[in-house]
A and B are shown apart, each in its own frame.
Chain A
């Protein structure tokens, strides 16, 4: 990883700081913070799905683990927000390792892997809905206790910077992975498992490291969500919605790229909020339009448009 390769990430961070200084609309700030949280969750998915080719349909399990562990530690055990968030992230990583150890050791791949991860997330959702420590169906409120020492901010722009810093960290981790031996081996596993094994890649070990790291990032998004909204319940934390958002964003923005999840999350949230804003008066119509736009975006990925135009231009230029 060279300094030049980290420049775009630095640029993103500076952009986010500028936005936090000059944008005052709470609607816009709220939109951006939420998008950043999704982008972090999506970056986690991207590590395992985009680079490793293991398409999880249950990243809600890790998002929810990060959210619940940090919220429960703060609310039930009076732990300070910073260690609570750190424990939340660690718990998500351990859960990722545990699920990976079972699923990958059993040799599950492709749609079987997707289905089993979905099942794990659903089991956790039902458990969180039924047990006492999670607040059951009523959910869990984190007491309002403003102050940087408690990782709670009155203004949304501070959260914007916090989210941007976390996402920048996630992107740096992804970039470092991309340039590392583990990253090369992970991509090799995605492309062809038997060829990778023949070249000395320990497939199980590589997948386990990837899913732990992936789960940690998505868990961090969950903890940040809890810190921002100060409320979670089982359908938010372990709901299928976050599994879907976490996988759609990188697929739309460019799976297996550092900026893909952020671009995808911006497009997804932009489309969703935009349609709601423009045609929110007739209930359901915005969802229909959102669905149509989603199909178009998946069919004609925006990140490929420059390449397509270039190819077309070259095609015309050739004799």
Chain B
């Protein structure tokens, strides 16, 4: 640490809360993402993970709380401003520009930093190759398989040259061999200097990729720590499997 009193976290979420009428979807969520890490955000269905993501990326206005990126407050800023600051996201339900080719899809992301069409297309090609979309570059995005669309989501976001990438279940729906092929791609992205925060259900991937995991259940962060240690946490086991599950598991062990 060089700076005095500077928040060591690259992305810092502080007491972030979202209420929809009487329902509190996310309640005072506080966690950090370290620069250069792959950090996981896990939790049972309906825990509020996607809402939390939407707030960080500017798609939902938080009811309370703060988000800081590299020490700068970014709470409630518009998605396109955040993209300029270097925060990119993917969508759980993939959102390809169906009428465009794969290359043109990625180029929309590339245009953020490159005003010239030639440069944007060149970067799109490069990013497409890197994500294994090379043979599909000139196909319409609508013709891609599920795995291809997931890769396209990541490619487009990566083409904006982000500092931090928020991935919302990019591994869901992939078969084991697609999964095996995709993990090195994500590690490669991190190696390229991009911090990753990922929502993920595929525990195998979380265990092998993430140094650090935060667990969200019922809108609250109930545990944080290393992946291996978090999955043994009784509170986490009960959040997934129900009250008393931790004890029963311990009895069987």
Contact = CB atoms under 8 A, between A and B. Distances in A.
Specify whether A and B are partners: yes
Contacts of B80: 197, 200-203
Contact of A194 (B88, B95, B115, B156): B95
A188 B159 CA distance: 15
A200 B109 contact: yes
B133 interface: no
A28 interface: no
Interface in B137-156: 156
A185 B111 contact: yes
Given A197-B78, A200-B160, A184 B107 contact: yes
Given A184-B104, A200-B112, A195 B95 contact: yes
Nearest to B86: A200
A25 interface: no
A194 to B, nearest CB: 7
A179 interface: yes
A197 B112 CA distance: 11
A145 interface: no
Nearest to B104: A184
B117 A180 contact: yes
Contact of B108 (A185, A202, A203): A185
Contacts of B99: 187, 190-191
B112 A198 contact: no
Interface string B161-178: 000000000000000000
A201 B156 CA distance: 12
B177 to A, nearest CB: 27
A194 B80 CA distance: 10
B143 to A, nearest CB: 15
A4 interface: no
Contact of B83 (A187, A188, A198): A198
Interface residues of B, number: 31
Nearest to B79: A197
A105 to B, nearest CB: 13
A203 B59 CA distance: 13
A184 B115 CA distance: 11
A196 B111 CA distance: 11
B97 interface: yes
Contacts of B97: 187-188, 191-192, 195-196
B57 interface: yes
Given A198-B89, A201-B80, A203-B80, A179 B109 contact: no
Among A184, A196, A203, residue most surrounded by chain B Cβ atoms (within 10 Å): A184
Nearest to B114: A181
Interface string B75-88: 00011100110001
B157 interface: yes
A199 interface: yes
Given A187-B97, A188-B97, A198 B79 contact: yes
A197 B79 CA distance: 6
B228 interface: no
A188 B109 CA distance: 10
A187 B160 contact: no
Given A184-B104, A194-B95, A179 B79 contact: no
Contacts of B89: 198
Contacts of A191: 96-100
Nearest to B162: A200
Given A181-B115, A185-B111, A191-B100, A199 B95 contact: no
Nearest to A202: B80
A6 to B, nearest CB: 15
Contact of B88 (A185, A199, A202): A199
Nearest to A201: B80
Contacts of B157: 198-199
A181 B156 CA distance: 15
A245 B87 CA distance: 44
A209 to B, nearest CB: 14
A196 B160 CA distance: 11
A194 B153 CA distance: 13
A192 B149 CA distance: 15
A187 B100 contact: yes
Contacts of A200: 79-80, 83-84, 88, 109, 112, 160
Contacts of A196: 97, 108
Interface string B221-241: 000000000000000000000
A192 B108 CA distance: 12
Nearest to A1: B117
B78 to A, nearest CB: 7
Nearest to B88: A198
Contacts of A190: 99
Nearest to A195: B95
Given A198-B79, A199-B157, 8 more contacts: A184-B108, A187-B104, A188-B100, A192-B97, A195-B156, A200-B79, A200-B80, A202-B78
9 contacts: A181-B111, A187-B104, A192-B98, A194-B59, A195-B156, A197-B80, A200-B79, A200-B84, A200-B112
Interface of B: 57, 59, 78-80, 83-84, 88-91, 95-100, 104, 107-109, 111-112, 115-117, 120, 156-157, 159-160
Q: Which 5 A-B pairs have the closest CB atoms?
A: A200-B83, A191-B97, A200-B112, A195-B95, A197-B79
